[in-house]
Chains A and B, each alone.
Chain A
Amino acid sequence: MADAPPVLRARPLSPHILQWRWHITMATSILHRVTGVGLYVGLLVLAGWALALASGPDIYGTYAGLLGSLIGKIVLFGVTVCLFFHIANGLRHLVWDFGKGLAPRTADITAWIALAFAAVAAVGVWILAGVTGALGA
C-alpha cells in the first residue's frame, strides 16, 4: 500500500493533425480561421482608409493609389473572398448552434455550398465594380 506509486490517469489525446485524411469539413473549419485573420487585416485597411480621408486630399490620394494598385487590388479581392466565405461558413456555425445540420452528409454539402458561394459572390462583386466604374482610374 505504502509502496504504491502515485497514479496519474492517462489523459485523452486526439490524433496528431497529420493522421487525419483531408476532408471538406476540415478544410472549411481551418478556412474559417484563416479568413477571419484575413478580415482582421481588412478591418485595419478600412480604419486606415477613414484615417486617410480625414488627413486631406494628398494623403487620401496616396492611400487610394495604394489600394488601386495591382497589389492593392489583389489584397482587396482576397478580403472580399474572406468576407463572403466567413459569412457563409459563419451561417453554418449559427445553424449548428441550434443543433441542426450536423449530420456528416449535410455538413459536407453545406461546406461545398459555402466555398462555392464565396467564389461566386466575390467574383460577382468585382465584376459589378468593373461595370459600375468603381475600379477605374
Chain B
Amino acid sequence: MSDFRTALGRARGMGSAKHGVGHFIGQRVSAVALLLLTLWGVASALSVAGGGYDGARAWLASPVNAAILGLLIIVGVYHAGLGMRTIIEDYIERPITKAALLILNAFVGWGAAALALVSILKVTFGAGS
C-alpha cells in the first residue's frame, strides 16, 4: 500500500539514485553559513554605500573583507544554484527544456562567481601594502 512507484519503476527495481542526501545536507549547511555571511554583507553594504569609488576600493583592500566577500559569493552561488535547480526540476516537465535550464543555471551562477572572485582578487592585490 505504501508503494508509490510506477509499474515501470517497480519492474526496473532500481530504487532511488541515492544522491538526494548530498543536496539536502549541502543546502542546509550552506544556509547556516549564509545566515552569518549575508548579515555581514548587509552591515558591510551600509558602511561602503556612501563612500564612493575610493572608499569601496579601500574597504576591499582589507584581506578580511576580500575573503569574506569571496566566501559570500561562493557559498551564495552554491546555495542559490541548488535552490534554482529544485525549482527547475519541479516546474519544467520537458526534458530538453529542463536540461537546458539546468545547464544555464550552472553557467550563470559559476560564471558570475568566477567574474566576482577575480575582480575581488584584482582589487585586493592591486591595493598594495
Q: Which residues of A does B touch, CB under 8 Å?
A: 8-9, 11-12, 33, 36-37, 39-40, 43-44, 46-48, 50-51, 53-55, 57, 60-61, 64, 80, 83, 87, 90-91, 93-94, 97, 125, 128-129, 132-137
18 contacts between A and B (CB under 8 A): A8-B7, A33-B83, A46-B76, A47-B112, A50-B119, A50-B120, A51-B119, A53-B123, A54-B119, A54-B120, A54-B122, A80-B42, A83-B42, A90-B35, A91-B35, A128-B46, A135-B49, A136-B50
Nearest 4 CB-CB pairings of A with B:
A54-B119, A134-B49, A47-B116, A47-B112
Known: A39-B80, A87-B35. A57 touches B119 (CB 8 A): no
Taking a contact as CB atoms under 8 Å apart, the answer to whether B50 and A53 are in contact is no
Identify the closest chain B residue to A133 (Cβ): B50
Instruction: Kindly list chain A residues whose C-beta atoms are within 8 Å of the C-beta of B73.
Output: 43, 46-47, 50
**Once bound together, how far apart are the Cα atoms of A90 and B83, in whole Å?**
12
Among A9, A53, A80, A129, contact of B60 (Cβ-Cβ < 8 Å): A53
Query: Could you tell me the distance between the alpha carbons of A128 and B116 in the complex, rounded to whole angstroms?
Result: 27
Instruction: Indicate if the CB atoms of B4 and A47 lie closer than 8 Å.
Output: no
Since A47-B115, A50-B116, A94-B32 are in contact, a sample of 17 more A-B pairs with Cβ atoms closer than 8 Å, ordered by chain A residue number, is A8-B7, A36-B87, A40-B83, A43-B80, A46-B116, A50-B60, A50-B73, A51-B115, A51-B119, A54-B122, A64-B53, A83-B38, A83-B42, A87-B39, A93-B31, A128-B46, A135-B49
Shortest CB distance B85–A (Å): 11
Contact (Cβ within 8 A) A129 B53: no
Q: A-contacting residues of B (Cβ < 8 Å)?
A: 4, 6-7, 28, 31-32, 35, 38-39, 41-42, 45-47, 49-50, 52-53, 56-57, 60, 69, 72-73, 76-77, 80, 83-84, 87, 108, 112-113, 115-116, 118-120, 122-123
Nearest to A41 among chain B residues (CB) is B80
A83 to B42, CA, bound (A): 10
In the assembled complex, the Cα of A99 lies from the Cα of B50 at a distance in Å of 44
Name the B residues within 8 Å of A50 (CB-CB).
60, 69, 73, 115-116, 119-120, 123
Q: Which interface residue of A46, A54, A80, A137 has the most chain B CB atoms within 10 A? A: A54
Chain A residue with the shortest CB-CB distance to B59: A53
- Using known A-B contacts A46-B116, A47-B115, A51-B116, determine if residue A60 contacts B56 with beta carbons closer than 8 Å: yes
